[in-house]
A and B are shown apart, each in its own frame.
Chain A
Amino acid sequence: MRRKKLMPVWAIVLIDILLTGACLCVYALFHHVLTWGTAKQVMGRSNIPTAVVATQPPAAPTESPAALVIEPGPEATAEPTPTPEPVDYGQFGEKFADKFTAEGEVISTDTLYNSHDVRVELKSDRVNNSDVHILDIYVRNIENFRTTFAGGEDVYDRTRLSVGDMAARVNAVCAINGDFAGFSNAGDVVVRNGLYFESDPEFSVCVLYYDGTMETYWKRFNQPGDDYDIQAALDRGAWHAWCFGPALLDSEGHALPLNYDTNVYNPRTFLGYYEPGHYAFITVDGRSGNNTGMNLDQLAALAESLGMQRAYNLDGGGSSHMIFGGETISCGSPYEPNRTVTDILYITDNPVPDVAVKEG
């Protein structure tokens, strides 16, 4: 009878390692690839008020003293008093009247785009051994500040496209990558252009409201705050909502002492807020010879130094990307210049919905 031989130990160890690797591959297949393939449906809409058209105040009637009343002669013809035409200042046009040009006038240079509804100025600086690019943004209406997904602004799925391609499709004045919506796996909050898709926050949340204000909701820096409530946000008129973070500034505009990932220097993207109608898109270069990138504490310090009231970190690393005037200003990794992402934030002079084009 043949004696059974024991398998050598090295063979058992090798087989276990190979099986572990195979199981990790299967896990990754379901974790990254074979997940929800169809688009998530719109769950609801924000309570967005109708746009208010500001009008010039009517001329105060002049009261003439009785002694000076002059009755018109028979030949005089009474001219009708012109009715003041309502002037559409938009939501923020009156406040930032000096920032916008006259109707129909557009100034477009390498560092400035200035029109009747939008002003975007590109500034670059060098901070913490990295190039920093800042788009200083003024919009007449919040609808000039839009977001879209790779498949269209109403198609929330895992389709991916480069920031440049999405920006070109929507004719964006400028654009940055978003929070890589749909790939969190840990939980997401997705409200885009007033459409509510999902709210299951695992990380801190940022909401841009239709009235132009921006709020960040955080607890211990990178957890959703107890004061975040999706229904309250929708009732208040959430225009966009993101879930990535962390929030970089506290409620008084001071840098939060984040104190984690302190040794992780990466390309970064973050959204800044000064006041309703005044925002900023910022990217930090990294992962290249003369750009080390920044850690989150440095990012928070940068946001505070720029005088922002709120600042919210978005997806960085290889996803970090900035487009201005159709040109790539910043890309996270020089080895992955056209990395595809799921969503972008952009400024447009022509706010029309980027609805998915149906083929056939």
Chain B
Amino acid sequence: MKKLLNLLQTAAAHVNIICAGMILTFLVIEVINPYAGFINHGYTKIVLSVWVAAALLTSIFSIAAQRREFRRRQKEAARRRQREREARRGE
């Protein structure tokens, strides 16, 4: 399960970059030749939907990782304080 989540997290991050690159390309083409009709096309809406899903996943993973890191730091800090107290008692 952990492996799958890691894979999903990596994939979502890269899909974000790929979709951003595609939409950026369409925006540039739209400026040069609006008659190409990339931005309003149905396929572009699919790319946008995939981008939104990838962005959501990436955000959820990022928030989860932040909270995990926060809890890990809290635990480490608690362990460090415990060790210091024990060291002072030993003295």
**Contact A23/B37 with A16-B14, A31-B43 known, Cβ cut-off 8 Å:** no
With contacts A19-B14, A20-B17 known, is A185 near B22, CB below 8 A?
A: no
Is A244 engaged at the interface, CB distance under 8 Å to the other chain? Answer: yes
- Given known contacts A24-B25, A244-B35, is B41 in contact with A186 (CB within 8 Å)? yes
Cα–Cα distance between A16 and B14 once the two chains are bound (Å) = 7
Counting contact residues on chain A (CB < 8 A from B), the size range is 10 to 19
Q: How far is the CA of A16 from the CA of B11 in the complex (A)?
A: 11
Q: Is A23 in contact with B22, judged by CB distance below 8 angstroms? A: yes
Say whether A335 faces chain B, with CB atoms less than 8 Å apart.
Answer: no
Chain B residues 13 to 45 lying within 8 A of chain A, measured CB to CB, are: 14, 17-18, 21-22, 25, 35-38, 40-41, 43
Specify which chain B residues have a CB less than 8 angstroms from the CB of A184 in the assembled complex.
35, 37
Q: Which residues of B contact A36 (CB under 8 A)?
A: none
Cα A326 to Cα B47 with chains together (Å): 46
Whole-angstrom distance between the Cβ of A203 and the nearest chain B Cβ = 8
The reply to whether B41 and A185 contact each other, CB–CB distance below 8 Å, is: yes
Inter-subunit contact A186/B22 (CB<8 Å): no
CB-defined contacts of B25 to chain A, threshold 8 Å? 24
Whether the Cβ atoms of A23 and B41 lie closer than 8 Å is: no
Interface string of B28-71 (1 = CB under 8 A from A): 00000001111011010001000000000000000000000000
Which residue in chain B gives the minimum CB-CB distance to A35? B43
Q: Say whether chain A's binding surface is mostly helix, strand, loop, or mixed.
A: helix
Min CB distance B15 to A, Å, is: 9
Could you tell me if A202 and B43 are in contact, using CB atoms closer than 8 angstroms? no
- Which residue of chain A has the shortest Cβ distance to B10 in the bound complex? A12
Please name all residues of chain A whose beta carbon is closer than 8 Å to the beta carbon of B17 when the two chains form the complex. Answer: 16, 20
Q: How far is the CB of A4 from chain B (nearest CB, A)?
A: 12
Distance between A249 CB and nearest chain B CB, rounded to angstroms: 20
Smallest beta-carbon distance A23→chain B, Å: 6
Contact yes or no, B38 A31, CB < 8 A = yes
Query: Which residues from chain B contact A19 at a C-beta distance below 8 Å?
Result: 14, 18
Report the separation of the CA atoms of residues A244 and B36 in the bound assembly, to the nearest whole angstrom: 11
CA A272 – CA B41 in complex, angstroms? 31
Within 8 A of B (CB), among A24-38: 24, 27, 30-31
- Contact among A27, A187, A203, A244 for B22, CB-based, below 8 A: A27
- Bitwise, A51-95 to B at CB < 8 A (1) or not (0) is 000000000000000000000000000000000000000000000
Bitwise interface map of A from 181 to 217 toward B, beta carbon under 8 Å scored 1, else 0: 0001111000000000000001100000000000000
Known A24-B25, A27-B47, A244-B35; contact A186-B40, beta-carbon cutoff 8 A: yes
Residue of B nearest to A315 (CB): B35
Which A-chain residue is minimally distant from B21 (CB atoms)? A20
Q: How far is the CB of B37 from chain A (nearest CB, A)?
A: 3
**B40 touches which one: A16, A17, A202 (CB < 8 A)?**
A202
With a cutoff of 8 Å between Cβ atoms, the chain B residues found around residue A24 in the complex are 21-22, 25
What is the bound-complex CA distance between A203 and B47, given in angstroms?
A: 24
On chain B, the residues within 8 Å of A17 by CB distance are 21
A17 to B37, CA, bound (A): 24
For the complex formed, measure the closest distance between the CB of B18 and the CB atoms of chain A, giving whole angstroms. 5
A-side interface residues toward B, CB under 8 Å?
15-17, 19-20, 23-24, 27, 30-31, 184-187, 202-203, 244
Instruction: Give 15 A-B pairs besides A23-B22, A202-B37, A244-B35 with Cβ atoms closer than 8 angstroms.
Output: A15-B14, A16-B14, A16-B17, A19-B18, A20-B21, A23-B18, A27-B43, A27-B47, A184-B35, A184-B37, A185-B40, A186-B35, A186-B37, A186-B41, A187-B40
Q: Which 9 A/B pairs are nearest by Cβ-Cβ distance?
A: A186-B37, A20-B21, A185-B37, A20-B18, A16-B17, A186-B40, A185-B41, A19-B18, A23-B18
